[in-house]
Structure 1
Amino acid sequence: MRPSAAAAEPLVPSSAQDALLVVDHSDNAVVVCDGAALITYVNRGFVRMLGYAPEEVIGRRPSDFLAGPHTDPETLEWVRSQLHSQQGYRTELLVYAKSGVPLWISAVVNPVYDAERNVRHILGIYTDITHSKLHEELHRKVLGAIVHEQPIHDVLTQVCREVEKIMPEAVATVVGLDEYGRLHPLAAPSLPDSIASVIEGELAGPMVGACGSAAWSGQAVLSTDIERDPRWQAYKAPFLKLGIRACWSSPIKASDGHVLGTFALYYWESRAPDEFHQRVVDVCLHLCALALERERTRAHMHQLSFYDTLTGLPNRLLFNSRTEQMLLAAARRESTAAVLFIDIDRFKIVNDTQGHAAGDALLRELAKRLGAELSEVDVVARLAGDEFVIAVPDCSAEEAANLAERLMARLAQPVNAGRMMLSPQASAGVAMFPSDGWDVDSLVRHADIAMYRAKSEGGARIVFYSLEMNQAMQERLALESALREAVRSGQLRLHYQPQVEMDRDMRLHGVEALLRWRHPEIGEISPSTFIPMAEECGLIDELGRWTLEEACTQMADWRRRGIPVPRVSVNLSAINFEQQDLPAFIGNVLGKCGLAPEELMVEVTESVMLAQKPEVLANIDAIHRMGVPLSIDDFGTGYSSLSHLHRLPISELKLDMSFVRDLEHSASARSLTTSILRIGESLSLKVVAEGVENEAQRAVLAGLNCAVLQGYFVSRPLSPHSLERWISLQDTGD
């Protein structure tokens, strides 16, 4: 069926009265002005939106009464200039209702011409865009501030100020929540600083005002009357004094749901938030969460970049930066400063025997103790491992010595490390500014040299840097370089010290391979010098493998020529035992040399044998399963536990020479030796006494039924040729 002509015509008002009725029902504000921009008509939408009755605005320009404290003056001037252009325009402007409430409007203004093209009227249509504009403005300004990495206080203050522009009935604040659950005011631009101190550092909880309660519960908290709200009893006085009567606080949550802080609106009257407030706060919570998460990420990155993850102390980078500033200030004042380099003595034993978790716990405790003894202007850092460095401004040499002694005493207080109670000892080196160096690197290096001297003198002492030490360190570095060359160029050799059975014939039990180094210019260098050096410079694994391969090659040669050496013992380091391929290496060497596993004895120190490192334990077990016997060297000097000892796959104990040395004159040495020998008997282990130098010591050991002797009383370490001659003399009875 075709529609009638009347039905097809558009529905339009039948009169001017009907037109005004439609306009009055619009949510938009409609304003009609004359050619001079004076108001001649406003609709009811204008009254509802802005609160002015028609009689209050007729005959006035809109810009004269709608502008307010935060209206953009440039936009306002531009609007007034359009009167003379006789052109239509569109703009957005922050204006104020009669009540003083600000709101954003979108204004579309067009001229109405008469037949002669003169402006007869000016028609303006205002749309309330407060929510969308606030959303836009907040995002533009806050995200811009975040992108430009403005301080978090400035970013959050921006949020609060933007909210307060369009919400004069409220004051906005942001409070942060730290990892320990404590509150920290971050932004409150319209409140006095004294208000922040009321909650600074308070532990969030159900009775800590609206913000503390919201942070604690993770839910929004409304206090419509803080004077009577029990949650406010301890905090209300300063707020009531300002005239604040209500508070609505909402938790700011990270993307994973945990609470970062709170965003709060404080009201000057007892009230609840309306729908507009709720929409605004939703936007603010999102932006505050972005800003706080960005800040936490940045803080975390800063922590990783400038702080030691284990102890929380500054790392080398931050130490250098702060100390450089300290030295510049000291130079301007012509003052002195001190740098202390502290290293924990025998720390490696804790790691080896108790595991890295115990070592880490010990370092954290020692770092805490160091920090407790220092002032705010001092700089303390952990450089690596068990090394700490401290910079102290305006410090004389005497004051540095006193501080070092105080630190050493504090560090030496007993501390639990795993299953042990330790009294840690430390060595300290001190370098002074400016006499020992003008820059951080020089002072740290010189303090390190002094610390090294303190360790070489027995540890647990304080040494000040001197030029002579620097010369000694240069010589040591040259010697370290020479050792690397010695490994490559074949300057190293092995001597062998016999071990004999404690019987009438003193039969040969085996020989221990001992490393020797003759420098082409310096001559013989003691193992007590170059072995610790090899450990420090990373050569010890290579030396251990060279020794084992050389000893097995020599053993194979003796076997081919019928020289009756039962076995050769080789001492391997802790570093050797941490290498995953050690069992395979030993197996390859034995196979290449054609030796049976029992013809090699692998010696390892007590601390390594009792280590809790999985790779060490796995290697010990694998070597034992290969049939290679294991010996504990220097037994009795470490931290042995019988509960561990009986489970270890060992064949031999080597009694440390420190016990043997005192056998003649010390009852306690004889008692300890007797105990070790009885342990060996109970576990069916051979006990080898090292360092036997005279008949009296031999006699005591014989009386205690010691099985095997080794030392100068039997023979000095010998070259392979000299050992062969020694064996032939033993066989002939000479």
Structure 2
Amino acid sequence: MSEPGATPGMAAIAGRWAAQLTGDNGVPVPAAELERALLAVAEEARAAAVAAKDAAELRLATLYSASPFGVALVDQDGRVLDVNPAFTKLLGHTIDDLAGTDIGTLGATPKDTTALHTGFAELRATGTTRQREQLDLEHALDGPLRTYVTIAGLPGNSGEALHPILIVEDVSELSLLRDALRRQNVQDPLTGLPNKSSFVNKLETSLAQPDDDQIALVYFDVDGFKVINDGLGPGAGDQVLRHVAGRLADVFAPSGAFVARLSGDGFAVLMRGDLTSADVVDLVEETMTELAEPCYVDGKGIGVSVSVGIVVQAANGGTTQEDLHRAAEITLHRAKESGRAQWMLFEAGLDTRDRRRYGIGAVIGGALENGEFELEYQPTVKLDGSNEIAVVNAGLRWNHPEHGMLSGEEFYPLADTTGMTLGLGRWLLTKAMSDAARWQAEFPSAPDLCVRLPTRLAIDPNLVGIVRDELKRTGLPPKKLRICTDSAALVDPRGEVLETITVLAELDVKIALAVAGGADLELVNTHKLPVGFVILSGPHVEALAGEGEQAEGARKHLGALLERAGELGITRIGAEGVLTAEHADRLRELGIVAGRGDLFGNAAGGSGITELIRSSRAT
């Protein structure tokens, strides 16, 4: 008999088990007592199960309410039963708005609605969960919202169908970020033009087309952009770049051209079709005219000029995008080297020459490290008939493994561009002083060493320290060293050449000045330079070797220079470029005491000049 308040089913079960245990197994306990014990155990087990179930339901309810993802409970017909708070916040709908509505109505487009219906149909038919599909759902106020949607089913009791649910994740911000990153991959954020990557892709596509069109590649570079940035700030520089981008687009876009910003202050235009070089040049000149109008930034009118490199050729000529890019770059460099604010048209011959030049300049650093540079010495000989070597002039030459022996005129301008001039100049100075110290040790009356410094070394603030250290290391007497400079170094605003020359003179180093005209000589007077020697060069020295009016004019000009030098207290005057004995006689008659050039032989290496000094001293 059931205990009062006991569950009837549970009491009947306990009674059957009590009867079986006392009857079959002979448990020595009265059946009623055993029944009560079994009933107590069963009730305890049942209470634990109910508690566990309640706890699970509580956890599920908490998860449902607190989930950051929107969750909608749906019936078997695909109608909304309930939604969690995140769902209403996500889509702006209340539970009252959604209850009983078809889940498909949440789709922002027919495609999204179909995807929702299909997902729930598959769930009902096969129990298959549809995982993380990107769909646009309709927000109550803001319109379509980009989301990830998962359609799943929660298991029911035994024999029951799955309970459908819709889980929604907001990925609109992530989608916007991806779109922004995608734009950054193809678009310049400052100007809005396509970027370099996009331009390269466009160029490759254009070259791959099979027709017989012409293709034009035009590179623009803003002249003096660093002045704008440093003088007015990067904000002004940015506005100028946007201004240039706008003008390029205005002029070229109507022609179907592809305009892009490559990097920094560089822009490019790609054209393809039935076009000629003249067509492209006309557009370039129109652009330059447009840019000539000042760009106003904070009330300041900024003048903008550009250098332009233009390449026009057959699109199907077998040229790769790398070759075309390189040709445009080199043509642009040629325009900048020729004075900026102008355009240059690609020429195959000049391109070959420039590629050779730039190839040489690119490897100067490695060549210096690998010992490819060597000193060359040229004697300056007294013009009094004694043929005594008064000075040995040191210079550099490059024994290039591919191009043979290169002179300083061929590589110094490239070294200036690559920043290697300082390294070359230091090596020249230290190696030449070491050689000169050996001559002095062997020949008590050995000639002076004269080093013509490249401008970059002449303006280097460490020059005095370098010379002082080398004098100490080599033991070369300071008075046997002449440092030769020129007007370019004296007026260069980057260094303190005037102070350096004064300090070197105080060390007893002799100072020589290369002079081509009266303005160069007047620097001695203007800056009170401690110059002891003047070296004349240039067209007037060359003209003196000829005949007629040119020679007579050169004589008068050089005579005036020597007279002015005498007034400045400079009497030791030499000349370079002496061609013949008659030329030397004419220079001597004017008062020039020494000269160097073809008359006195070619330049020699270290051993060669040593032999020349030895033979000179022997006679």
**TM-score, normalised to structure 1's length?**
0.45
**Structure 1 residues 320 and 708: CA distance shift in structure 2, 3 A:** farther
Contact 1:327 1:337 in 2 (8 A): no
**Structure 1 residues 563 and 373: CA distance shift in structure 2, 3 A:** farther
Matches within 5 A, 1:362-511: 374=248, 376=250, 377=253, 379=259, 390-394=268-272, 396-398=275-277, 399-402=279-282, 428=309, 430=311, 432=313, 434=315, 442-451=323-332, 462-464=344-346, 466=348, 479=360, 483-503=364-384, 505=386, 507-511=388-392
**Structure 1 residues 433 and 342: CA distance shift in structure 2, 3 A:** farther
Contact 1:655 1:676 in 2 (8 A): no
Q: CA deviation at 1:509?
A: 2.9
Match of 1:30 in 2: none
Matches within 5 A, 1:498-647: 498-503=379-384, 505=386, 507-519=388-400, 523-562=404-443, 564-577=445-458, 579-614=460-495, 619-620=500-501, 622-633=503-514, 635-636=516-517, 642=523, 645-647=526-528
Match of 1:692 in 2: 578
1:369-399 deviations in whole A, cap 9, x for unaligned? 9889855237486967xx9654253573422
CA distance in 1 between partners of 2:398 and 2:476 (Å): 26
**Structure 1 residues 563 and 712: CA distance shift in structure 2, 3 A:** farther
**Counterpart amino acid of 1:689?**
A
1:285-328 deviations in whole A, cap 9, x for unaligned? xxxxxxxxxxxxxxxx9xxx866xxxxx999x945656755876
Contact 2:380 2:392 in 1 (8 A): yes
Secondary structure of 1:717's counterpart equals coil
1:261-285 deviations in whole A, cap 9, x for unaligned? xxxxxxxxxxxxxxxxxxxxxxxxx
RMSD, matched Cα: 5.6
**Structure 1 residues 718 and 340: CA distance shift in structure 2, 3 A:** same
**Structure 1 residues 708 and 560: CA distance shift in structure 2, 3 A:** same
In the alignment, structure 1 residue 339 sits paired with structure 2 residue 217 = yes
1:386-423 deviations in whole A, cap 9, x for unaligned? x965425357342234556778999999xxxxxxxxxx
Matches within 5 A, 1:252-267: none
Match of 1:680 in 2: 565
CA distance in 2 between partners of 1:673 and 1:383 (Å): 51
**Counterpart amino acid of 1:464?**
F
Secondary structure of 2:311's counterpart equals strand
Single out whichever of 488-497 and 323-332 deviates more from structure 2.
Answer: 323-332
Contact 2:216 2:310 in 1 (8 A): no
CA distance in 2 between partners of 1:535 and 1:616 (Å): 18
**Counterpart amino acid of 1:513?**
A
**Counterpart amino acid of 2:574?**
V
CA distance in 1 between partners of 2:241 and 2:553 (Å): 38
* Larger-Rg structure: 2
- More contact order relative to length (CA 8 Å, sep ≥ 6): 2
Secondary structure of 1:713's counterpart equals helix
Q: CA deviation at 1:660?
A: 1.5
Secondary structure of 2:599's counterpart equals coil
Secondary structure of 1:564's counterpart equals coil
Single out whichever of 399-408 and 366-375 deviates more from structure 2.
Answer: 366-375
**Structure 1 residues 558 and 391: CA distance shift in structure 2, 3 A:** same
**Counterpart amino acid of 2:412?**
I
CA distance in 2 between partners of 1:631 and 1:436 (Å): 56
**Counterpart amino acid of 2:584?**
R
Aligned residue pairs: how many?
423
1:686-726 deviations in whole A, cap 9, x for unaligned? 44321111234334433432343221223332334443444
**Structure 1 residues 74 and 678: CA distance shift in structure 2, 3 A:** farther
- Structure 2: runs of 5+ lacking an equivalent: 1-91, 100-172, 178-183, 294-304
CA distance in 1 between partners of 2:518 and 2:307 (Å): 20
Single out whichever of 656-665 and 721-730 deviates more from structure 2.
Answer: 721-730
Q: CA deviation at 1:589?
A: 1.1
Q: CA deviation at 1:558?
A: 0.7
**Structure 1 residues 402 and 328: CA distance shift in structure 2, 3 A:** same
Secondary structure of 1:706's counterpart equals coil
**Counterpart amino acid of 1:677?**
L
Match of 2:34 in 1: none
Q: Percent of aligned positions with the same letter in both sequences? A: 21
CA distance in 2 between partners of 1:314 and 1:668 (Å): 61
- Structure 1: runs of 5+ lacking an equivalent: 1-71, 80-146, 152-300, 308-312, 414-423
Matches within 5 A, 1:53-68: none
1:310-355 deviations in whole A, cap 9, x for unaligned? xxx999x94565675587689789765433347899x9xxx9xxxx
Secondary structure of 1:654's counterpart equals strand
CA distance in 1 between partners of 2:529 and 2:242 (Å): 37
Contact 1:635 1:653 in 2 (8 A): no
**Counterpart amino acid of 2:492?**
A
Contact 1:513 1:569 in 2 (8 A): yes
CA distance in 2 between partners of 1:393 and 1:541 (Å): 42
**Structure 1 residues 575 and 392: CA distance shift in structure 2, 3 A:** same
Q: CA deviation at 1:560?
A: 0.7
Contact 2:396 2:407 in 1 (8 A): no
**Structure 1 residues 433 and 603: CA distance shift in structure 2, 3 A:** farther
**Counterpart amino acid of 1:673?**
L
Matches within 5 A, 1:214-225: none
Secondary structure of 1:391's counterpart equals strand
Contact 1:436 1:446 in 2 (8 A): no
**Structure 1 residues 638 and 381: CA distance shift in structure 2, 3 A:** farther
**TM-score, normalised to structure 2's length?**
0.52
CA distance in 2 between partners of 1:627 and 1:726 (Å): 27
**Counterpart amino acid of 2:471?**
L
**Structure 1 residues 148 and 457: CA distance shift in structure 2, 3 A:** closer
Q: CA deviation at 1:490?
A: 3.1
Matches within 5 A, 1:94-243: none
In the alignment, structure 1 residue 712 sits paired with structure 2 residue 593 = no
Q: CA deviation at 1:549?
A: 1.3
- Give the alignment partner of residue 723 of structure 1, picking from 606, 609, 612: 609
CA distance in 1 between partners of 2:573 and 2:559 (Å): 11
Q: CA deviation at 1:550?
A: 1.4
CA distance in 1 between partners of 2:218 and 2:189 (Å): 20
Q: CA deviation at 1:426?
A: 6.7
Contact 1:513 1:568 in 2 (8 A): yes
CA distance in 1 between partners of 2:508 and 2:189 (Å): 50
Q: CA deviation at 1:637?
A: 11
Contact 1:429 1:454 in 2 (8 A): no
**Counterpart amino acid of 2:598?**
Y
